[in-house]
Amino acid sequence: MEMSLISSSPATGGDFSQLGNSYNNTSLMFISSFATKSQMGFRQIIRCPNLHIKVAARSLSHSQPAASTMVSNPKDSVKLYVGLPMNSVSDCHSINHSRAISAGLRALKLLGVEGVELPIWWGVAEKEAIGKYQWSGYLTLVDMIQKAGLKLHITLCFHGCKQENIHLPKWVSEIGESEPDIFFADRSGKRYKDCLSFGVDDLPVFHGKTAMNVYQGFVESFKTSFSSFMGSTITGITIGMGPDGELRYPSHQDQNKNKIGLGAGEFQCYDQNMMNNLKKHSENHGNPNWGLSGPHDAPNYNQHPLINTFFKEEGSWETPYGDFFLSWYSTQLVSHADKILSMAASTFSDTPVILSGKLPLIHSWYRTRSHPAEVAAGFCNTVNRYEEIIKVFHKNSCRMILPGMDLLDEEEPNELCSSPEMLLEEIRDGCRKNGVEVCGQNLEIAGSSESFEQIRKNLVGGNGIEVFVYQRMGAQFFSPVHFPLFSAFVRRIKELELDSDDLGGNGRDSVVSVPGKNRKMQAA
């Protein structure tokens, strides 16, 4: 077990060694985190009003930054949010680790974080039957966040998550048993059952309703149920648009999201509804044979995409057929984005909340001409391949969330021809030109000061990012290795400067991390 200690002390004089003697006026919280083979989380955070401790100050270094004093106007800094655990609310509508989350919220408030992000799952809130919504667990948690004095971004998740054992609604899965084509399929017929295919956006296969009708019913019920929090506590809403909430095809459906190999993934257009759409499109363009299947020479998930396949130099992707298919495949993605963002924008038009959607950062093979990984995920490999999507975001007054702001080119395997930094800049440049505001996210919990520094570089210097959501609260987040780094990152983003003579002064917050077996605390 690992432990971290958060303190907010009114003690004067800046002497951390007196912290244990002034406990009557000191707020202390221990955060204990744990990880097992079957579960990762953080245990409840315990207040210790009568605990006598010693805090041993030590010299400051880049790896263990010091507590410091706020000197800038908070209005000018980036608004930082932290994602709550993915499974914060159980499918029985209770709050998982409620005491730990409550204390974690207080810890974030002490740090000066603007707010938190909460995933609300379709498979939890509308689990049993179409139109039967159960918001009680989420309402309790939102009330807890409001009382903690934090703002809230909501993510409406119309997908499942295998890692957290979160599924689509039970009634959707039941329909899928008799109508498997509501799900994406690859060339071999393997189904991706963690989100619905774009092919059912306008098909009434859900008890007479289309997927868009069902999404809209969910969004409208959410709006009504949480109306008292809109604009005051809830300031932003993200609409899930595909796998993992991102606007893309599940092109790597057979692999762990964070362990993608050399392959670029596969096209996901083989469910019958998508194939019917392709067939009709090919007939309208006078080439009916082009609508009989997807590319015959496309690589499989793990095959090198540039060797004897569709994506090689002068391969099929550069032929009239390749242009036809890739244009259609990308258009389905753009059309889906427009439908779901238009629906959401219309629903929330009379509220003060800001709407957003999330793009993936598919950076493998970025340095090649054919961009196979991006193409398999639905992004056409033309010169302005993201422009049409960016225009959809602008049309619907939506912010674009971009993950991967912690990634460095130098840390990517050379054999993947990858460049997360160049791709991120390309999309951001397109957003700047089209007046779309960008919000940032990290891809993984930062394990080093270099990762945090990369995030900071992406947030400062006229990059126009006002909101950054750090993902996500849990055992690793509160570990004694990570939490001091995050605390220092928060201070740097808020333009805090060290005042060594004012450590622990009036109203100032300080953060201390403690190894689990060491009773002597160390000032971080």
Residue 35 pairs in a beta bridge with 40
What is this structure's pTM? 0.83
Residues 6+ apart with CB under 8 A from 349: none
Residues composing the chain: 524
The H-assigned helical ranges of 199-319 are: 211-225, 272-284
Which residue would you say has higher pLDDT here, 414 or 506? 414
Share of the chain above pLDDT 70, in %: 78
Q: Please say whether the beta carbons of 101 and 477 come within 8 A.
A: no
Work out the pLDDT band at 164, boundaries 50, 70, 90.
very high
Q: Give the three-class secondary structure for 293.
A: coil
Residue 356 pairs in a beta bridge with 238, 399
Angle ∠(516,522,524) on CA atoms, nearest 5: 110
| Residue 210: per-residue pLDDT | 98
Binning the chain into helix, strand and coil, the percentages to the nearest 5 are 35, 15, 45
Nearest to 483 by CA among 157, 118, 1, 6: 6
| Residue 447: per-residue pLDDT | 73
Q: Is the pLDDT score of 49 beyond 70?
A: no
| Residue 462: per-residue pLDDT | 65
Q: Are strands 115-121 and 79-83 parallel, antiparallel or unpaired?
A: parallel
Q: Per-residue DSSP letters for 241-267?
A: -SGGGBSS--TTTTS-TT---S-----
Q: Per-residue DSSP letters for 365-408?
A: TTTSSS-HHHHHTT---STTTTHHHHHHHHHTT-EEEE--TT--
| Residue 16: per-residue pLDDT | 25
CA atoms of 358 and 441, how far apart (whole Å): 10
pLDDT digits (tens, 9 = 90+) for 176-229: 999 999 999 999 999 999 999 999 999 999 999 999 999 999 999 999 999 999
Share of the chain above pLDDT 90, in %: 71
